Chains A and B, each alone.
Chain A
Amino acid sequence: MTVDLAHSPADEAFRAEARTWLRAHVPAVPLPSLETEEGFAAHRAWEAELAADRWSVVSWPTAYGGRDAGLIRWLLFEEEYYAAGAPGRVSQNGINLLAPTLFDHGTEEQRARVLPPMASGEVVWAQAWSEPEAGSDLASLRSRAVRTDGGWLLSGQKTWSSRAAFADRAFGLFRSEPDTPKPHQGLTYLMFDLRAPGVTVRPIGRLDGKPAFAELFLDEVFVPDEDVIGEPGQGWRVAMSTAGNERGLTLRSPGRFLASAARLSELWQAQGRPHSTSERVADALIGARAYQLFTYAAASRFLDGASIGPESSLNKVFWSEYDIALHETALDLLGPEGEPADTDWAEGYVFSLAGPIYAGTNEIQRDIIAERLLGLPKGRR
């Protein structure tokens, strides 16, 4: 098969259908920040609107609310979604992190129970990975899962739990076997209710004060066996096995950056094309194109049967640093209007600052690139 950037007529028809739907449904006035109570509710309602016409999870099987659309059509949907100025996705933790794990390691019962309400926004998920003493060294986590009749009792503290201030449920790793030879052994992957007895959620204000994440205090929180994903004790493998597949591609779609770069370019043109920022505007456009084509190449390899693996670290460092540079350029271009915090650019800027930190810090990603892609020897971190 020959190299080709053109999409098939059927894929283009799918794109056109998405574009038409979005044009008719995207709110004319931007929703309030999803990191506020009011905004969270508005974004949840938007998820329901998407789901009603099967646009919330296009790549999922139809049985769970998707369209069986595949990776390429998902990429096209994302391009249209962000080009249309549609709202941020309040359910992205569930859709991008938990759902792939359920597809690979969950039971049919779990998928049927968990995925449809995730797709509709009825249940919004938060992640519960980090702990006060376990950040980049995640495997050193201490929160416990202790066996009890019909399930597990969770105790300990989780932190930096994105969306947990307003979300319904959470997923994460817990130590179910103490004293294993290696720290990543004896961990179990569990889902739990953020409103269950024994759970205390303490919201944390991010840099701008909005409660974008939270601390979770767990005191003998009961979780039934049906909410364990994969085998008890195998949680590390369960969590990591999906880290290297298409998740590396789907965490941030190129559509988001293509749309942001286009908006930056419009802003620059509206400001009279100032020479002082032309280099940075050009680089934002170039970076968006590079990210799109990098993703197309990775998607093509994936569809050819290749696994993605540590290449996703290249992707993560690139988009997270790109996103900050793009928003910095916009704020600089705006001059005094770059200071007010109530603009989309300011909101996007604050959001972008977290990118190099979460989902594996960029320092960890660079270690992975150096050791696993370049073959350099392991050393002290």
Chain B
Amino acid sequence: MRFLLDTEQRAFADTLDTMLTAADTPAVVRDWSRGEHTSGRALWRRVAEAGVFALAVPEAYEGLGPRPVELAVAFVELGRHAVPGPLVETVTTAALLTALDDTGPAKRLLPALASGESTATLAVGPYALDADLADVRLAVSGPSELRLTPAPGGPHRPSLDPARRLFSPPPGGEILATGPQVTTATAVALTWARLATAAQALGVGLALLDRTVTYVKQRVQFGVPIGSFQAVKHRLADAKIALEFARPLLLGAALTMTERDVAAAKVMACEAAYTTARTALQLHGAIGYTAEYDLSLWLTKARALRTAWGSPDECRAALLRGLSGDRPW
């Protein structure tokens, strides 16, 4: 037992962090929210070149994976920098196509996802994220039909996170796979989606905590930094506790990839990020409530990720469903 990231994994996180810090992601997020995707596409290619999407794609399909631990490490950094786009959906698509019995769709579509040449989105529920720009648009309809859907015809619905653009998948399109293999593969894909979303949420929470700690050290009221007030300190301490306990849960989930561990990580990372978002908003005061201030990019994402790919209640239910008399862990 050695429950620590190794040197290479930590260096991978640092490399991504450095690259994304230099990329001025807040400006990219704002472009993306307006439907201007050029800067976002450029950033996407750099994320792909760093190998992030290849981590979800097996070597047989020109990827480097499946490597869920490194993927979780990467998604923490993507969340920390609020990188926009169908990130989780691309990874989930890779997991789904890999898990089908029929290898045709994987051979056809996965190499381009691994390299970053194409992006993918996937609707299992009502919405497909960023379907207007995704190159591969999948929809699971009913329990057992996987379709490549046409480009969306209508406008998108706005998300509480302006950087997330929600499209209803149109009917029709090519049927890629049918039968029980779709049900099985969707369950596998859901585990990957929850892991990646949990990691992204943890990164969002860590960024919110960092920015808020910096702010309360600088903001002076009553002649002293507000960060010297115990009421302020204790809210931030609680956010720190929540995030630091979500972190090992995420790493454990990436190692075991069991439905139960991944569901637990999704609940705790998303709850921690959301708690931190509430604290960040409160401690920033009115400036935090503005769209103009960059904090909003993370505040709104913490809310959206909470229900993406399984609400806290759905994840708790998934965790409880498999319980029997044995030790749960």
**Footprint of B on A, CB under 8 Å?**
1-8, 11, 72, 83, 258, 261-262, 265-266, 269, 273, 278-279, 281-283, 285-294, 296-297, 299-301, 304, 311, 314, 317-318, 363, 365-367, 369-371, 373-381
Contact = CB atoms under 8 A, between A and B. Distances in A.
Interface in B186-225: 209, 213, 216-217, 224-225
Given A5-B252, A261-B328, 15 more contacts: A3-B3, A5-B3, A7-B1, A8-B1, A262-B327, A262-B328, A265-B328, A290-B246, A290-B268, A293-B248, A296-B1, A296-B3, A371-B233, A376-B227, A378-B228
Given A376-B216, A376-B217, A279 B316 contact: yes
Contacts of B244: 294, 311, 314
B22 interface: no
A161 B89 CA distance: 57
Contacts of B6: 1-3
A299 B4 CA distance: 10
Contacts, number: 167
B225 A377 contact: yes
A5 B1 contact: yes
A376 B267 CA distance: 29
A297 B255 CA distance: 13
A317 B2 contact: no
Contact of B264 (A278, A290, A377): A290
Nearest to A266: B325
Contacts of B319: 282, 285-286
B213 A291 contact: no
B328 A278 contact: no
29 contacts: A1-B2, A1-B6, A3-B2, A3-B6, A3-B9, A72-B1, A278-B316, A281-B320, A282-B267, A282-B319, A285-B320, A285-B329, A290-B245, A290-B264, A290-B268, A292-B329, A300-B1, A301-B4, A314-B241, A317-B238, A318-B241, A363-B230, A367-B237, A370-B234, A373-B240, A374-B233, A376-B213, A377-B224, A377-B225
A300 B2 contact: yes
B5 interface: yes
B264 A286 contact: yes
Given A290-B245, A374-B236, A379 B4 contact: no
Interface string B239-279: 01100111111011001100001001001100000000000
Nearest to A369: B237
Contacts of B234: 363, 366-367, 370
A374 B217 CA distance: 10
B69 interface: yes
B317 interface: yes
Contacts of A5: 1, 3, 252, 255-256
B256 to A, nearest CB: 7
Nearest to A366: B237
